[in-house]
């Protein structure tokens, strides 16, 4: 056969845009499924639950860090970026997991933690064993103290409480230099002006991309570039937000974008190009800079994690983020819950005066939780999110309607926030409790051993095995919503329908409408075929169908 008479072979077209409208399920590996019975979730556990995730109807899974780690910060203290923590499995297990996910049509995203390593990383050990000014120390941020050495080099605070500087002591007890850690002392910050650091991370991106990983979630993307010119300037107080001109010494500096432009070149070496999503807690108008197609391509919008259950707030957040995403060329992202915030079923069930973050972090007595209200609103908000154009990020357990676990005994708390604030703030363990898969003991099907964080008795009501058999459960709602989203999701347009200020109503395409009533009073339900609702829709005898309070309905309007 010659070239001219060859019938063209069908080359599968790589869908480079798969992420734009994807639903991404966040797995917190240590708390998802434990295959070997040591109380800690693992990679083989994820593999075993791939059928569950495929049935749920998500498009991709994102794994929080599973790398070797001392677990000083839930795995966000990485000791080796190119391996699997032996407690969580092996690289072969990882390859099996990717193969199973891909076989089920799911993409795989992994977390990359570039701002800091673990203090167990070989580089930091080398730095400790080396002299001030040595190349080994130049990968991190070491400085002499002020006032003869005893005062930290600057006033910079750690995000977990206390100073961002820790002083080293020689084996003979003599104090010496300080090193920077914007998080826990076990998480020393890298110096990203060092080319060796830059090259090493590019090698890591290639390592996982070569293993078939489809994308990366970039931890603390806004923190890599720092103004280290002495004297070190004070940081902006957190309460006032970050400046919007890139002038903060620590976060959201303009130079950070050069790093991500280099990353984009690496991501584009692959077909389809690998995706990336930035975790960047920056001013709204600066988020889209990270999402430019020449950089990471997408950035998290966390505004819904901070919003009240309030129609005006939701509407403003949706409008502005769709505009910003369109400006950058990315699609928008939506997040109601993740491993760092109070689960949304709890946020919406707390008294209106309670700030969710304060509750998350409070060391004192938890305010009264109204579970029925919390769950009703959470289901409505989730359906609203799943009707929006863009990517929806679903955090493990939200599909079960889980609440935050508020009563973990103090002596079992693991979050470094708890320790760094000297037990003033509890931290994030309440959303990281291992999932309930069934009603068996001792771990609700999570594994065969006591889980690493204690599960409450009420998990029995929310176990997967229970909810699977209940057509009205939150799991059934997510499954139906995700199946419909797959059928209906085309294009990225949204048209607002303004009929009632208590209602957020928008139309997508082909007559698909999403209508959310934020008030507790019933509202008029627009005419149309009800496709799905987050709560029961009633039609009074002889009257028109009503949209109950705190409910979302999807309609097809002809
Ligand atoms: C990110 C992670 C958080 C972690 C922190 C430090 O904000 O989401 O869990 O503690 O980075 O790595």
DSSP per position, 179-210: EE-SS-TTSPBB-TTSHHHHHHHHHHHHHHHH
- The predicted pLDDT at position 197 comes to 98
Answer whether 310's CB lies under 8 Å from 342's CB. Answer: no
Q: How far apart are CA 85 and CA 537, in angstroms?
A: 48
**Residue 444, ligand 1, Cβ within 6 A:** no
219 catalytic? Reply is yes
Q: How far apart are CA 315 and CA 322, in angstroms?
A: 11
In angstroms, what is the span from residue 272 Cα to ligand 1's centroid? 28
Q: How far apart are CA 321 and CA 135, in angstroms?
A: 43
Q: Which atom of ligand 1 is nearest to the CA of 77?
A: 12
Residues of the chain scoring pLDDT < 70: 1-14, 239-240, 353-367
- The predicted pLDDT at position 548 comes to 96
Residues 6+ apart with CB under 8 A from 131: 137
Residues 6+ apart with CB under 8 A from 472: none
- The predicted pLDDT at position 358 comes to 54
Answer whether 383's CB lies under 8 Å from 396's CB. Answer: no
Choose which residue among 72, 305, 340, 421 to substitute to test ligand 1 binding: the one with the highest number of ligand atoms within 8 A of its C-beta: 340
- The predicted pLDDT at position 419 comes to 85
Q: How far apart are CA 498 and CA 71, in angstroms?
A: 49
**CB neighbours (10 Å) of residue 535?**
20
Residues β-bridged to residue 507: 495, 513
- The predicted pLDDT at position 10 comes to 46
- The predicted pLDDT at position 430 comes to 94
Give per-residue pLDDT as tens, 336-363: 999 999 999 999 998 876 665 555 545 4
Percent of the chain's residues with pLDDT above 90: 85
Residue 60 tokens read as 């991709």
550 catalytic? Reply is no
**Residue 278, ligand 1, Cβ within 6 A:** no
- The predicted pLDDT at position 353 comes to 64
- The predicted pLDDT at position 7 comes to 42
Global confidence as pTM: 0.95
């Amino acid at each position: 056969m010659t070239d001219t008479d060859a019938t063209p072979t069908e080359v599968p077209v790589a869908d480079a845009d798969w992420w734009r409208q994807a639903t991404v399920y966040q797995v917190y590996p240590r708390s998802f499924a434990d295959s070997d019975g040591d109380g800690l979730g693992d990679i083989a556990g994820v593999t075993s639950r791939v059928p569950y995730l495929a049935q749920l109807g998500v498009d991709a899974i994102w794994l929080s860090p599973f790398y070797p780690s001392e677990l000083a910060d839930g795995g966000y203290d990485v000791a080796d970026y190119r391996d699997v923590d032996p407690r969580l499995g092996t690289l072969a297990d990882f390859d099996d997991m990717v193969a199973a996910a891909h076989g089920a049509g799911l993409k795989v995203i992994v977390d990359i933690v570039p701002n800091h390593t673990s203090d167990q990383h070989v580089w930091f050990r080398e730095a400790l064993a080396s002299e001030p000014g040595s190349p080994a120390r130049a990968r991190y941020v070491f400085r002499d103290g002020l006032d003869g050495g005893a005062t930290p080099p600057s006033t910079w605070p750690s995000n977990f409480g206390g100073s961002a500087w820790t002083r080293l002591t020689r084996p003979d007890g003599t104090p010496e230099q300080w090193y920077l850690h914007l998080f826990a002392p076990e998480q020393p910050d890298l110096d990203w002006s060092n080319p060796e650091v830059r090259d090493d991370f590019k090698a890591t991106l290639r390592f996982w991309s070569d293993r078939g990983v489809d994308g990366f979630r970039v931890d603390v993307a806004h923190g890599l570039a720092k103004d280290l010119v002495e004297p070190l300037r004070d940081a902006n107080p957190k309460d006032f937000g970050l400046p919007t001109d890139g002038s903060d010494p620590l976060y959201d500096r303009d130079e950070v974008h050069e790093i991500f432009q280099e990353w984009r070149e690496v991501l584009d070496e692959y077909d389809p190009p690998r995706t990336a999503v930035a975790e960047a807690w920056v001013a709204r108008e600066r988020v889209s800079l990270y999402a430019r197609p020449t950089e990471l391509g997408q950035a998290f919008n966390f505004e819904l994690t901070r919003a009240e259950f309030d129609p005006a707030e939701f509407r403003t957040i949706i409008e502005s983020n769709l505009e910003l995403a369109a400006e950058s060329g990315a699609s928008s992202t939506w997040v109601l819950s993740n491993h760092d915030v109070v689960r949304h079923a709890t946020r919406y069930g707390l008294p209106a005066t309670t700030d969710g973050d304060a509750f998350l972090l409070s060391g004192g007595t938890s305010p009264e939780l109204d579970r029925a209200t919390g769950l009703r609103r959470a289901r409505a908000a989730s359906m609203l999110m799943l009707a929006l154009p863009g990517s929806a990020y679903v955090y493990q357990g939200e599909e079960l309607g889980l609440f935050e676990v508020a009563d973990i005994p103090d002596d079992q708390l693991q979050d470094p926030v708890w320790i760094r604030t000297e037990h003033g703030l509890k931290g994030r363990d309440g959303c990281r409790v291992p999932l309930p898969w069934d009603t068996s003991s001792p771990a609700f099907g999570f594994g065969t051993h006591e889980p690493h964080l204690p599960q409450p008795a009420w998990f029995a009501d929310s176990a997967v095995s229970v909810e699977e058999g209940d057509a009205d459960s939150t799991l059934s709602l997510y499954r139906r919503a995700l199946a419909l989203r797959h059928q209906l999701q085309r294009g990225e347009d949204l048209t607002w329908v303004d009929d009632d200020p208590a209602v957020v109503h928008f139309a997508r395409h082909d007559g698909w409408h999403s209508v959310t009533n934020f008030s507790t009073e019933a509202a008029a339900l627009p005419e149309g075929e009800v496709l799905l609702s987050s709560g029961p829709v009633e039609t009074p005898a002889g009257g028109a169908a009503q949209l109950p309070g705190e409910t979302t309905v999807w309609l097809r309007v002809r």
